[in-house]
Amino acid sequence: MKKQNMNRDWIATARTLSQALPYLQRYTGAVVVIKLGGHAMGSDEAMEEFARDVVLMQMVGINPVVVHGGGPMINAMLDKLEIKSEFVNGKRVTDQATVEVVEMVLSGTVNKRIVQALNRQGGKAIGLSGKDANLMVCTQTNPDLGFVGTPTNMNPEVLHDLFSKGTIPVIAPLGAGENGETFNVNGDTAAGAIAASLNADRLLLLTDVAGVKDGAGDVITELKTQQIRDLTAEGVIAGGMIPKTETALNAIEGGVRAVVILDGRAPNACLLELFTEHGAGSLIRDAD
């Protein structure tokens, strides 16, 4: 009986691979930007699974880019160093001392952990931030918030160079100011700007919710951009989902073919979205 069950598993695996062929062909040469955050960053097991999926994506011809956050790690380091934060309308003020910690944590500990995870799975990953090669030049978002930046000028040539060498870029959301400042950039915002600069086929926003939900609490599997605007105006899209859907709208307006908000806690979420008919999460794209 055990052998029969194993045979069924092998047959199911072979069938799944066969059914994935059209999707594998469809994404050959495509750029897919993945915003990594939430659960996958806190668990070593989830990080290894994520890294394995990204390396697999590259092996079948996709050019993946990983953009990551690191809020909890930044908070922990600020507490350890006894650096107190001020808040304006619920948003942290990023002063000089804070932005130095942000850069240390994001470009150091967090970035290298992801790079090492990808390399352990057989990938060739390299870590950088938006400051490198002026990938992401920013202006100050709001003087009251200090060194928080909004991307205004993108220079993705360095990423194309890395693609040509079979390298996976792992990017910390830090930007360079025109006068040499370092700006902290919201991770979703950075991922959207990078995806737009690359005319990415997909921007995958991994989060800790299943996707965009309707008024009844059910996940909406596919939305047009106007639906996002309507649901936001109606108050159905609210709270922490608003920044993500705004990122999606800006990315699509900037040239990204489609954005998916999906649950990074789900096993193999990226592979399910890209290589199965069912997909995962909420797919957002412009009207055909």
pLDDT digits (tens, 9 = 90+) for 49-76: 999 999 999 999 999 999 999 888 898 9
The predicted model gives 216-237 an average pLDDT of 92
**Gap between the Cα atoms of 107 and 114, Å rounded:** 11
Q: Which H helix or E strand runs over 56?
A: helix 44-59
Beta bridge partners of 169: 126
Annotated binding site for substrate: 70-71, 92, 184
pTM to 2 decimal places? 0.91
Output the pLDDT for position 23: 65
Model confidence at 11, pLDDT cuts 50, 70, 90, reads low
Residues, the chain, total? 288
Show Cβ contacts of residue 133 under 8 Å, excluding neighbours closer than 6 positions: 155, 157, 158
Give the Cα separation of 89 and 36 in Å (integer): 26
The three-class DSSP label of residue 263 is: strand
Give the chain's largest Cα–Cα span.
70
pLDDT value at residue 30 = 94
Nearest to 244 by CA among 260, 265, 226: 260
Average pLDDT rounded to a whole number, residues 184-203: 96
Q: Which residues are annotated as a binding site?
A: 70-71, 92, 184
* CATH superfamily, region 26-285: Acetylglutamate kinase-like (3.40.1160.10)
Is it the case that residue 286 has pLDDT exceeding 80? Answer: yes
Average pLDDT over residues 33-40: 84
With b for 16 or more beta-carbon neighbours within 10 A and e for fewer, the 197-215 pattern comes to bbebbbbbbbbebbbbbee
The residue ranges of every structural domain in the chain are 26-285
For residues 251 and 202, what is the distance between their CA atoms, to the nearest angstrom? Answer: 10
